Chains A and B, each alone.
Chain A
Amino acid sequence: MTIKGVIRTGLIQLRVLDMEKSIRHYVDIIGLEYVGKAEDGRVFLKGYDEFDHHCVALRETDTAGMDFIAMKVESDEYLKEITEKTIAFGLPVEHIEANSDQPGFGRRVAVTLPMGHRLDLYAEVEMAEDTPMTMNPDIWKQAPRGMAALGIDHALLFGPNVDLTTKYFTEVLELSITEVLKNPENTGNMTVWLTANNKGHDLAILEYPEPGKLHHIGFKLEDWHAIGHAADLISVNDVALDAGPMRHGITRGQTIYFFDPSGNRNETFAGGYAHYPDHPVREWDFAHVGKGIFYYTRELNERFINVVS
């Protein structure tokens, strides 16, 4: 194995306004598998092609947004090491016991990022009861539902202190920067795309005055055909569309943005390039932001910039 340290984005807990509508959205339309329900009413979901216990937790409350996002690391030893480095870096950490609020997950270290979001780090997670096959594996056991999301892919977070957060991600967690978007004054980065592996991004972060905001959570689809089918489902089910089907200039991924019934933006993401650690950082100046985000229309819609949860 050559992917060391932080391995991938693996879990997000979302706040939703209506659990029944949210389950219909994430299970029937996006196609995640229903894993189970906690005593406190939270619901756990996973992609059909994922091995881990779950990748999404939904919590019903009176606001939308993200409680936390979590990344899996290679070992408990490494978790101890980066916990010490995180404290030395000056970020607050909390310790969450194994199998407490997230069934199947080992102990987690919750870091409050300078952007206001909570990032949990964990080394251990149980396999789901129903995993993809590993012996002479078929592509799936049962035909996937809806958009056929394979699993969680990445998230875009909005908040202040992108520079300090980038420093934390690159120096402490040793993520790689794949691309950056310069600010309008060309004095620094407005947005940074970060990866722990060879995806185009595990997380992206954008400078924004309000802390702790979620722009979108991205789910992996197989290919452009799947994106087309997802677009059909969006119209058939009257899902609130934001933008797409489309391709990104940044990451090269094929995409649709839409909203869950509580106003959390989702993305279905396919394709994109493979990142390798020897690749140079790709840079975009602000004059080319339209093409970077929406490669075909080459302009941003206002909703894409101003609507976050």
Chain B
Amino acid sequence: MRRNDIRQCRTNGGIDIFQLQIEGREERIPCAEDQSILDALRKSGVHEIVYGCLGGGCGVCKIEIQKGELRREKVSREHLSEEDAKKGMALACKSYPTTDLVLRIIKNRGKKNDN
């Protein structure tokens, strides 16, 4: 089975779609539960979130979750300390929604734990 067919089956199988909202904006951006928040934002034309390595290693796509829950994949501790993660910081390339979310885009250039 080709990869696209699998993706199609999952969609048909009832994958959850959540709504992302950027702080201070009305617009809602759909994001599937298996889609990274970065991918959803970029595909919806939100280009003020920059992206770098897409691997959780560079820290340029940092966001702050203001409301809602997410699933996190492993990222570099150099760019996201455990303390920052507890405060709601996340790297969008390795974050997946489990509820609707309100978030803030943090402008940074990948410097160490740069907020």
A28 to chain B, nearest CB (A): 15
Bound CA–CA A263/B51 (angstroms): 11
A259 to chain B: which residues have CB within 8 Å? 52-55, 57
Decide: A240 and B53 in contact? CB cutoff 8 A: yes
Interface of chain A: mostly helix, strand, loop or mixed:
loop
1/0 per position for A284-303, CB-CB distance to B under 8 A? Answer: 00000000000000000011
Kindly list chain B residues whose C-beta atoms are within 8 Å of the C-beta of A264. Answer: 53, 55, 57
Pick from B11-19, B20-28, B69-77, B95-103 the stretch touching chain A: B69-77
With most chain A CB atoms within 10 A of its CB, the pick from B52, B60, B77, B78 is: B52
* Number of B interface residues in the complex (CB < 8 A): 19
Contacts of A18 in B (CB 8 A): 74
Evaluate whether A303 and B74 lie within 8 angstroms (CB atoms) in the complex, with A64-B55, A240-B55, A259-B53 already known.
no
Is B65 at the interface (CB under 8 A from chain A)?
Answer: no
Tell me if B57 and A17 are in contact (CB < 8 A).
Answer: yes
Asked if B58 is at the interface (CB within 8 A of a chain A CB), the reply is yes
CA distance in complex: A165, B77 (Å)? 28
A263 touches B78 (CB 8 A): no
Q: What residues of B have a CB within 8 angstroms of the CB of A309 in the complex?
A: 53, 57-58, 76
Instruction: Please determine whether B50 and A262 come into contact, CB atoms closer than 8 angstroms.
Output: no
Q: Is A77 an interface residue (CB 8 A)?
A: no
Which residues of B, 60-93, contact A by the 8 Å Cβ criterion? 60, 74-78
Q: A260 vs B52: C-alpha distance in the bound complex, in angstroms? A: 11
Shortest CB-to-CB span from B97 to chain A, Å, is 20
Residue of B nearest to A264 (CB): B57
Find out whether the CB atom of B111 lies under 8 angstroms from the CB atom of A210. Answer: yes
Please name the residue on chain A nearest to B77 by beta carbon.
A62
A239-271 residues with Cβ-Cβ distance < 8 A to B are 240, 259-265
Residues of chain A within 8 A of B52, CB atoms compared: 259, 263, 303, 306-307
Within 8 Å of chain B (Cβ to Cβ): is A308? Answer: yes
Q: How distant is B38 from chain A, measured CB to nearest CB, in Å?
A: 11
When C-beta atoms are compared, the residue in chain B nearest to A64 turns out to be: B57
Cβ-defined contact, A265 with B53, below 8 A: yes
**Contact surface of B with A, Cβ cutoff 8 Å:** 50-58, 60, 74-78, 109-112
